[in-house]
Amino acid sequence: MKNEILGIHHITAIAGNAKKNYDFYTGILGLRLIKKTVNFDDPHTYHFYYGDEKGTPGSILTFFPWEGIQAGRRGTKQVTEIGYSVPAGSLDFWQNRFEQHNIIYNKPAVKFGERYLTFLDPDGLKFELTEAKVKDTRPQWETAAVSKENAVHGFHHITITTNKMEATAAVLTQIFGYKLAETEVNRSRFVIDTVEQANIVDLVEAPGEAIGHVAGGSVHHVAFRVKDEATLMYFRDKIVEQGLNITEKIDRNYFYSLYFREPGGVLFELATDNPGFTIDESLDELGHNLKLPAQYESIREEIEGILPKLT
Ligand code: ZN
């Protein structure tokens, strides 16, 4: 069996108000809430997972909503943009939708030969919708408002901003197996060929840029995808060989993971495909129930009383 990184597994970000977050991602953006659970370290806070129908790795965006949290600031040592892939010709739909719903966006632009539309979520988290050159065949989640002609397919890329990209690039190329594909001005595009989608990391080198502050509206970490636990441990050894600190294997109920801070300052995670989100809910039911890890079942009533209502 090959030991491979399979692109992005999930991205985790920080939000403010839980209901606003839920309404934006399920309503405006048309994603499926695939898991509603709590922060395992802070069970009075939600942990939302949004994705496609099944919560396929490469489509999963997760949030910790903390009411009243201060706003973060984009800068270096951060994932500064999250890119989704959308069908060709759908950017007009999205631009109209953002206009109607008072979402902050920029007019479409082009980079690496692809049209994209930038927008901010209610907490200021920055996104791009990209009409990808390579046709994206990943099945989409459809809602009454966002049908298949326009719905997002899953991640296209992430952007990391850095003063000097060398050390981060070395992790991507020497440990993970990404290759530098293209450079436009100060943006270098790294691509991994083990998967067709969610396989791009852009490094933006901005020598004068200040360090960002990770808080509301910021990405907390990005998780890269591996097939299983054996592969996870193979990469753990590789990372330790490079002299980097990394956690032990952690059971996140829906995947197994490891965390390490890459030398450029961004928190990276490696996460497995197994066991997946249907381990404690059927495919139809995904996201409908508040799922608690075993250690918190005894205080379910208390937790349910404290968590904000979503409807
Ligand atoms: Zn994670």
Over residues 221-249, the mean pLDDT reads: 97
C-alpha span between 239 and 99 (Å, rounded): 45
Q: What is the dihedral of CA 153, 233, 265, 250, to 10 degrees?
A: 80
pLDDT at residue 32 is higher than 60: yes
In angstroms, what is the span from residue 99 Cα to ligand 1's centroid? 32
Asked if 30 contacts 142 with a C-beta cutoff of 8 angstroms, the reply is: yes
DSSP 52-85: SSS--TTSEEEEEE-TTPPB-B--BSEEEEEEEE
For residue 11, report the phi and psi dihedrals to the nearest 5 degrees.
-130, 135
**In angstroms, what is the span from residue 185 Cα to ligand 1's centroid?**
31
Q: How far is the CA of 41 from the centre of ligand 1 (A)?
A: 13
| Cα(113) to centroid(ligand 1), Å | 31
Compute the distance from residue 234 Cα to the ligand 1 centre, in Å: 19
Q: Measure 216 CA to ligand 1 centroid, in angstroms.
A: 16
Quick check: is 1 in a domain?
no
Flag whether 106 is in a domain.
Answer: yes
Centre of ligand 1 from the C-alpha of residue 261, in Å: 13
Find the 109 Cα to ligand 1 centroid distance in Å: 30
Mean pLDDT of the region 4-23: 98
CA–centroid distance, residue 223 to ligand 1 (Å): 6
Distance 75 CA to ligand 1 centre (A): 21
Give the C-alpha separation, 252 to 234, whole Å: 19
Helix (H, G, I), strand (E, B) or coil at 225: strand
Mean pLDDT of 230-251: 97
226 pLDDT more than 90: yes
Domain span holding position 103: 8-306
Domain membership of residue 3 (yes or no) is no
Q: Distance between alpha carbon 90 and the CA centroid of its chain, in Å?
A: 21
Q: What is the pLDDT of residue 1?
A: 57
Give distance in angstroms: CA of 295 to centre of ligand 1: 19
Q: What is the mean pLDDT of residues 34-51?
A: 96
Whole-number Å distance, alpha carbon 107 to ligand 1 midpoint, is: 31
Residues lining ligand 1 (ion), CB within 5 A?
12, 223, 269
Strand bridging mode 200-205 / 154-162: parallel
Domain presence at residue 107: yes
Residue 239 in contact with residue 231, Cβ under 8 Å? Answer: no
User: How far apart are the CA of 12 and the centre of ligand 1, in A?
Assistant: 6
Terminal CA-CA length for the chain = 46
**pLDDT over 90 at 311, yes or no:** no
- Please report, rounded to a whole number, the percentage of residues in the chain having pLDDT higher than 70: 100
DSSP-assigned letters across all residues of 255-281: EEEEEEE-TTS-EEEEEEEEE-GGGSS
Cα(93) to centroid of ligand 1, in Å?
31
pLDDT of residue 249: 97
51 in Cβ contact with 169 (< 8 Å): no
CA of 138 to the centre of ligand 1 (A): 22
The pLDDT of 224-236, averaged and rounded, is 98
- Determine contact, residues 234/3, Cβ cutoff 8 Å: yes
Q: Is 167 helix (H, G, I), strand (E, B) or coil?
A: helix
- Specify if 2 maps to a domain: no
Query: For residue 311, is it within any domain?
Result: no
* CATH number of the domain bearing residue 24: 3.10.180.10
The residue among 2 and 97 whose pLDDT is bigger is 97
pLDDT of residue 2: 86
Q: Is residue 15 part of a domain?
A: yes
Q: What is the mean pLDDT of residues 178-194?
A: 98
pLDDT band at residue 55, thresholds of 50, 70 and 90? very high
Asked whether residue 212 is assigned to any structural domain, the reply reads: yes
CA distance 52 to 142: 9
11 C-alpha to center of ligand 1: Å? Answer: 6
| The pLDDT value given to residue 88 | 97
Ligand 1: distance of its center to the CA of 159 in Å?
17
User: What's the rounded Cα separation, in Å, for the pair 262 and 244?
Assistant: 8
Number of domains comprising the chain: 1
- Percentages (nearest 5) of helix, strand, coil residues in the chain: 20, 40, 45
| CA separation for the pair 23, 30 (Å, rounded) | 9
Tens of pLDDT, residues 245-299: 999 999 999 999 999 999 999 999 999 999 999 999 999 999 999 999 999 999 9
**Which tens digit of pLDDT belongs to each residue from 60-74?**
999 999 999 999 999
Whole-number Å distance, alpha carbon 125 to ligand 1 midpoint, is: 17
